Structure 1
């Protein structure tokens, strides 16, 4: 007689993830070093986590630092970044735009923590940063 296979009793919970978008033209057109562009995404994440620090999802995300998830996308240029930010606002997806100073250039944005199923469609036109 074959052994019974135990049923999975707990559903797998989709992780909270911060979604980051940086401008590709900062590298290709404006010749910024990759490290500087990465720093822009980091600034946007810091701004978003601080801006949304009282949200339950942010508190849950920050309470388990060993298991943080982030996805980094790229977008073509500033106008596409602004259009994406407007769509996120229309869809009530919390985020922060980062404007680098003293250059006064919009460089990136980051969401507060979300589950991909909640916001994934908003980023379907963005490619992964490479």
Structure 2
């Protein structure tokens, strides 16, 4: 397990949190409800990846956590992004909101910023959350 000092010397780890833009634009969800989806999925991915070295290193330096919050167009684009992450063996979680029973958000476990194929997928399917 890396120390906080070793983590700073390594490539910074970043969590990517993606929420569906259509939740607010087309489906009329309030801003707080959309933000909650990002919160749910970020906690879920940390719990699911708690034994991974990147997650352990990320959680050792709480004051310097890096997150990028993105938006994607709709359910299909979220699923397409998840498929790319799966193909690249990137730890991630898709939040399925209940009782609606559909995906609302996705988060990666902490990953190095230089993960090229993954960044290309984010550029293809996402933009910064506005």
| Short-chain TM bin | 0.7 to 0.9
Q: Determine if the alignment matches structure 1 residue 42 to structure 2 residue 64.
A: no
Alignment of 1:104-123 (within 5 A): 104-118=101-115, 119-123=118-122
Q: Determine if the alignment matches structure 1 residue 129 to structure 2 residue 129.
A: yes
TM-score by length of 1: 0.88
Give distance in 1, aligned partners of 2:47 and 2:18: 17
How far residue 102 of structure 1 moved from its aligned partner, in angstroms, is: 1.2
Give distance in 1, aligned partners of 2:113 and 2:36: 23
User: Counting helix residues as a fraction of each chain, which structure ranks higher?
Assistant: 2
Give distance in 1, aligned partners of 2:53 and 2:120: 22
Structure exhibiting the larger radius of gyration computed from Cα positions: 1
Runs of 4+ with >4 A deviation: none
What residue is the counterpart of 1:59 in the other structure? Answer: 56
RMSD over equivalenced CA pairs, Å: 1.4
Secondary structure of residue in 2 paired with 1:18: strand
Give distance in 2, aligned partners of 1:108 and 1:90: 18
TM-score by length of 2: 0.88
Q: How many residues align?
A: 120
How far residue 14 of structure 1 moved from its aligned partner, in angstroms, is: 3.2
What are the Cα deviations for residues 32-62 of structure 1, in whole angstroms up to 9, with x where unaligned? 0111111101111111000000000000000
